[in-house]
Amino acid sequence: MSTLVSVSADEAPARRSAAALLWRRLSRNVMSLAALGLLVVVALTAAAAPVIMPYDPDAPDAERTLEPPSRRHWLGTDLYGRDQLTRIVYAGRVDLLVALEATAVALSLGAALGAVSGYRGGWIDQVLMRIIDTIQAFPSFILAMGIAAALGNRLTNIVIAIAITHVPIYARLIRGEMLRIREMEYAEAARTVGNPRRRIIFYHLLPNCFPPVVVQATLAMGFAILTVAALSYIGLGIRPPTSEWGAMTAEGAGYIVSGEWWIFLFPGLAIMATVLSFNLLGDALRDVLDPRMKGV
């Protein structure tokens, strides 16, 4: 009796939590740490912009128009004398926010559709997947353009446009994971215990579908930024005077010939660095999460 009831606490040492193990693996890769670091800096700077930026992004300064980078204006000024550095940081707020909101909406909607589709199967699956197919049939940028043009370029509408084009990715991903997971014994156990179906899908199975989704979402953030930048570049995105990286790059395009290189270069670099960081982070996460995914 004593051997049975004896607390088997020392049978297996408490290994580190999953989060700690994840961090350990992630921190091995220098590139991913650099990417993560850059993103943290960008996010923090963007968040703290009103406090730390010395200039007002919209305030014109007639005396200092088109100044190259100098000690006063680290990244130079534009046609209206506005400080470029401040504008880029403020633009970062817009771009990141749009990307984040669009990803969040797309993920929620896509996950819900994919989860129900994958678990229920049958005609529900067929109908939902055909809707997803329809969305995917359009080249995503054209679709975003179309929606943005139709709804008008307010911030919310751009978020909606991008979100809609991203929904299929998440829906399919989650559906695939769900098809795999619903055969696992803990899904069966959840039924045996007496869970109603909705709880099985959303409480038990869906959280276990997340590792590949995290990877996808990270990559998609970069893509979302590119989309909003591209939309703004062609005039369908954020309206001036709100600063946005794509719009700033469009402004700067006119100055390439006349030699004011700083107006398009820095916003372009901002886009590139941020998107690249998201990609690197996403790839690193995939490498780190992959072996764990198999265990789930």
# residues contacting other proteins (CB under 8 A): 36
Minimum separation from the CB atom of position 177 to other proteins (A): 14
Q: How far is the CB of 291 from other proteins (least distance, A)?
A: 11
Taking CB under 8 A as the rule, which mask of x and - marks residues 3-32 in contact with other proteins? Answer: xxxxxxxxxxxxx-xx--x--xx-------
Rounded Cα distance, 259 and 145, in Å: 31
Q: Which residue stretch of 45-53, 55-63, 113-121, 179-187 sits at the interface with other proteins (rule: CB under 8 A)?
A: 179-187
Rounded to an integer, what distance in angstroms lies between the CA atom of residue 84 and that of residue 57? Answer: 8
Residues 186-225 touching other proteins, rule: CB under 8 A, are 186, 188-196, 204, 207-208
Residue with Cβ nearer other proteins (208 or 242):
208
**Residue 232 CB neighbours (<10 A):** 29
Which residue, among 194, 197, 210, has the nearest Cα to 121 in the 3D structure?
Answer: 197
Angstrom CA distances, 49 to 44, 93, 101, 273, 286, stand at: 8, 8, 19, 19, 32
Determine which helix (DSSP H) or strand (DSSP E) holds 35, and give its type and residue range.
Answer: helix 30-52
H or E stretch covering 200: none
DSSP label of 206: G
Radius of gyration (C-alpha) of the chain in whole angstroms: 24
Residue 133 or residue 188: which is nearer to other proteins going by CB? 188
Q: Which is nearer to other proteins, 28 or 72 (CB)?
A: 28
Beta carbon of residue 234, minimum distance to other proteins (angstroms, whole number): 44
| Residue 137 engages other proteins in binding (rule: CB under 8 A) | no
Residues in contact with other proteins by the rule CB under 8 A: 1, 3-15, 17-18, 21, 24-25, 184-186, 188-196, 204, 207-208, 295-296
